[in-house]
Structure 1
Amino acid sequence: MRQRSLRSAVLLAVVAFVAGCGSATAPTTTGTAKDKLVVWDWKSGDAKTAAYFEKAKADFATKHPGVAVEFVAQPFDQYYTLLGAAIQAGKGPDVVLFNGGGQIRDRADALLPLDDLVAQDRERLAGWDAFGKDGKVYAAPVTLQGHPIYYNKALYQKAGLSAPAKTWQEFVANCATITAKTGAKCFAVGNKEGIGIQFFLSAMGSAVLTPQEYDDWVAGKRNWASPDVKRVFELWRQTGTDGLNNDGVNSTAMFNDGFAVFQSGKAAHVIGLMSDVGHWKDLGEFVGQDSLGVMDAPAVNSAARPSLPYDGGIGYAVAKWTRDPKIAADLVRSLTSADALKAFYQGAGAIASDPAVDVSEAGPAASAIVSKISDGAPALHVALSSKTLDLMGRLSQQLLSGSATVDDVVTQLAASDKTG
């Protein structure tokens, strides 16, 4: 009873908090000091993105000089809980930052479709599909997010290896050589939150599934009983049973302890990100940009076509309760303007959604990533609902601990995927 009362008190406090957030007032011809848009995100408090927000605000001010913009940076670990309370209350921020994939699809009913409001930007930016549902788009992409396999060239050289392997069998053999000669593990992995399996599924999926299976998965026609789908989870289990991973994977947080294993030279490979934490700029600051390599997923199935998995990373959406959707959409357009996105790349090292942003001076890893985008494919885990991703995280821990079989895991995931 006491726990229920505590939960209720917390929910009431959150609802009270969001009820105090402003919404855009009714538009006027000239604008007034009372006009305001409220934006929620988890980026505006980051010093690395300061120049990005300044550029976006300056661009918006030229369009609507009488409309103030208030950015409210929320803690990421509470972000979607706070947002859920705002949605339940039907009042809160006008513009909202989302991760692509299940997080925004699960909340699309609380958002306005942007197809008509930002139509002029559709050809200029990439990554829209991650923010869509039922043929409509609900956010404009700021970054591209994906899961390259990074490797430490210095450890390869120390082990006497000139380049990454092209097949999984050769890759495992190379990992044994690296461990024997350098003491480093093959993979740096953090799966305390169940995130490691998401990265692994998307990074390795194109090396296991046939192109048709891959397309069917992304389109929602997933066959969890397929031998190739099972093979992905068998490989995940193999990384544990064969000692390819760092110790204590299920008690290691991906952010940032898992990446720290790679950064410290204790593992030769890590499945990281294209943007944000654990990306090329972040990792390169530790191992050196010239020592940071990007490799294709080692082929498991000869019929597969390994490719870079990527989607829209983060993007801004408009809440359906905003009083002037057009003004709110104009702010979204400013947050994805060319100058703003260039500043985001320069400050935070993100791969921007605008392909025109030049990354040639960033180093070989960033250039390698961008060169693979044209042949890339949507990340497999992004196609799954947040409910199924949560279940997959728990089951992946059981696979590594040996308390679940691959057949048990895919059976449960199939049932979850079917019910959404």
Structure 2
Amino acid sequence: MKRRALGAMALAGAMALAGCGSAGSGSASGSRENTLVVWDWKSGDEAAAAYIEEARADFAARHPEVTVRFVAQPFDQYYTLLGTAMRTGEGPDVMLFNGGGQLRERADDLLPLDDHVAQDLRRLAGWEAFSRDGTVYAAPVTLQGHPVYYNKALYEEAGLDPENPATTWEDFLADCRTIAEETQATCFAQGNKEGYGIHFFLSALGPAVLPPQEYDAWLAGDRDWTSPHVRRIFELWQEIDRAGLNNAGVNSTALFNDSLSLFASGDAAHIIGLVSDVGHWEDFGEFLGEENVGVLPAPLVTDGAAPGLPLDGGIGYAVAKETRNPDLAADLVRSLTSTDALAAFHADAGAIVADTTVDVSGGGPALATLMRGIETGKPALHVALPARTLDLMGRLSQQLLSGSVGIEDALRQLADADRAG
């Protein structure tokens, strides 16, 4: 596998979901017949360069007369810019989405892809994250999950067995105390400045707390925010921080990028990361050594829970309903999810791509563990939530850590927002 040559500041400056480039606009309704405009946050990323070029070449072989223009937007403004552009008729023909609420809330403005590409791309996994009410609106490029990574070298330094991490919450806390006593590291690297930390926390630890029936009901939309199991997840969010198991100043620490750097530099023993993009097995392996990156199944909190790797479609490309060239735009989506393009994305960026035919062997022990988890993983809890509920959860999670809101009040507000959709 080709490995990226990243220095320590490269990880500190990276965003797991963000790309490079300046804002720009392209018009789906006003684009010329020979031009397709693509918005994303990946095409300006050096690690995605080979992926984009493979997709371009695949598309150009069938449509040499068509110009494809990629516009890389800043991720922290992406959905705001996209929403404005789509409302004013100045949006792109093809656009990148995270799986889940952000796509589902905009599905009315997207072209259903079932009759265009979905049947052609059976080799892809992760469709559910890009669907609403059984209709597919984007084709998955990557798979995304939220594992707990741990630093095996710190385990050894603390006198713990790095090949046999704790499987219960009580034993995990005991190991954290040992790590604190024997090393200078905190238990968790955590960042919640953007409000994203609680999303990862909910999805990573939720499978160890919610019984399977309640977990499945949550995914299906039947969420009981008064459940003692749901309450327990938010109690853990508070308890971990109050016990000093996190780095200091979680609410002022950016998940992307500061908390990633804390783990990569050996200042924390664990982090809830990603399986693709940044803050994943390959990035951490470049700093810690791939032999020192472990993947920890979420320690069991509730008897009867079934801990596993939360897994969804990660990112995927959709087509604007108002594009002048729906068949042409859909064919570009085919190229952006072609096997050669996705193989290049895996090789250069370490992405676990949605194409199940791409060979991902040779990525080291952490990747091997993740691939075993992918076989049985269920969708992530936070991906099932509407975008507005996620935004509120981020704000409330900061207030829970600061003590300005109680758990009962926070859960009531989240229940109200979830019902409102």
Is the shorter-chain TM-score for this pair beyond 0.5, marking a shared fold?
Answer: yes
2:167 aligns with 166
Structure 2 stretches lacking a partner, 5+ long: 1-22
Contact 1:43/1:73 (8 A) holds in 2? yes
2:139 aligns with 140
1:113 and 2:112 correspond? yes
**Aligned residue pairs: how many?**
397
- Code of the residue aligned with 1:140 in structure 2: it is A
Contact 1:23/1:93 (8 A) holds in 2? no
Contact 2:26/2:37 (8 A) holds in 1? no
The offset of 1:295, in angstroms, is 1.0
For residues 339 and 27 of structure 2, the distance between their equivalents in structure 1, rounded to whole angstroms, comes to 33
> Greater shift after overlay, 112-121 or 224-233?
112-121
The offset of 1:116, in angstroms, is 1.0
For residues 381 and 20 of structure 1, the distance between their equivalents in structure 2, rounded to whole angstroms, comes to 32
Contact 2:27/2:93 (8 A) holds in 1? no
For residues 251 and 121 of structure 1, the distance between their equivalents in structure 2, rounded to whole angstroms, comes to 45
Helix, strand or coil at the partner of 1:355: coil
The offset of 1:94, in angstroms, is 0.5
2:80 aligns with 81
Helix, strand or coil at the partner of 2:206: helix
Helix, strand or coil at the partner of 1:40: strand
Going from structure 1 to structure 2, the CA distance change for 1:130 and 1:264 (only over 3 Å counts) comes to same
Contact 1:55/1:340 (8 A) holds in 2? yes
- Code of the residue aligned with 1:88 in structure 2: it is R
1:337 and 2:309 correspond? no
2:8 aligns with none
1:240 aligns with 241
For residues 64 and 182 of structure 2, the distance between their equivalents in structure 1, rounded to whole angstroms, comes to 63
For residues 53 and 382 of structure 2, the distance between their equivalents in structure 1, rounded to whole angstroms, comes to 33
Helix, strand or coil at the partner of 1:260: helix
For residues 328 and 119 of structure 2, the distance between their equivalents in structure 1, rounded to whole angstroms, comes to 15
The offset of 1:21, in angstroms, is 6.9
For residues 322 and 309 of structure 2, the distance between their equivalents in structure 1, rounded to whole angstroms, comes to 37
1:64 aligns with 63
Helix, strand or coil at the partner of 1:275: coil
The offset of 1:119, in angstroms, is 2.8
Going from structure 1 to structure 2, the CA distance change for 1:267 and 1:64 (only over 3 Å counts) comes to same
1:10 aligns with none
1:398 aligns with 399
- Code of the residue aligned with 1:217 in structure 2: it is W
After the TM superposition, which residues 144-155 of structure 1 pair with which residues of structure 2 at under 5 Å, given as runs? 144-155=143-154
1:186 aligns with 187
1:357-385 per-position Cα deviation (integer Å, ceiling 9, x unaligned): 22211111111111111110000000111
Query: Normalization by structure 2: what TM-score?
Result: 0.92
1:13-48 per-position Cα deviation (integer Å, ceiling 9, x unaligned): xxx96466775545xxxxxxxx11111111111111
Contact 1:51/1:347 (8 A) holds in 2? yes
> Greater shift after overlay, 262-271 or 392-401?
392-401
1:197-233 per-position Cα deviation (integer Å, ceiling 9, x unaligned): 0000000000000101000000100000011111111
Helix, strand or coil at the partner of 2:317: strand
Helix, strand or coil at the partner of 2:295: strand
Contact 2:29/2:324 (8 A) holds in 1? no
Query: Normalization by structure 1: what TM-score?
Result: 0.92
For residues 290 and 359 of structure 2, the distance between their equivalents in structure 1, rounded to whole angstroms, comes to 17
Contact 1:150/1:295 (8 A) holds in 2? yes
- Code of the residue aligned with 2:68 in structure 1: it is V
- Code of the residue aligned with 1:383 in structure 2: it is A
Contact 1:23/1:37 (8 A) holds in 2? no
After the TM superposition, which residues 271-286 of structure 1 pair with which residues of structure 2 at under 5 Å, given as runs? 271-286=272-287
For residues 123 and 212 of structure 1, the distance between their equivalents in structure 2, rounded to whole angstroms, comes to 29
After the TM superposition, which residues 3-402 of structure 1 pair with which residues of structure 2 at under 5 Å, given as runs? 18=25, 25-26=32-33, 35-162=34-161, 163-402=164-403
For residues 237 and 122 of structure 1, the distance between their equivalents in structure 2, rounded to whole angstroms, comes to 43
- Code of the residue aligned with 1:229 in structure 2: it is V
The alignment yields a C-alpha RMSD, in angstroms, of 1.4
Contact 1:100/1:311 (8 A) holds in 2? yes
For residues 365 and 42 of structure 2, the distance between their equivalents in structure 1, rounded to whole angstroms, comes to 26
The sequence identity of aligned pairs, in percent, is 65
The offset of 1:285, in angstroms, is 1.1
For residues 104 and 64 of structure 2, the distance between their equivalents in structure 1, rounded to whole angstroms, comes to 33
The offset of 1:403, in angstroms, is 2.2
The offset of 1:128, in angstroms, is 0.7
For residues 231 and 173 of structure 1, the distance between their equivalents in structure 2, rounded to whole angstroms, comes to 19
2:418 aligns with 417
Contact 2:124/2:354 (8 A) holds in 1? yes
Structure 1 stretches lacking a partner, 5+ long: 1-15, 27-34
Contact 1:148/1:274 (8 A) holds in 2? yes
Contact 1:22/1:38 (8 A) holds in 2? no
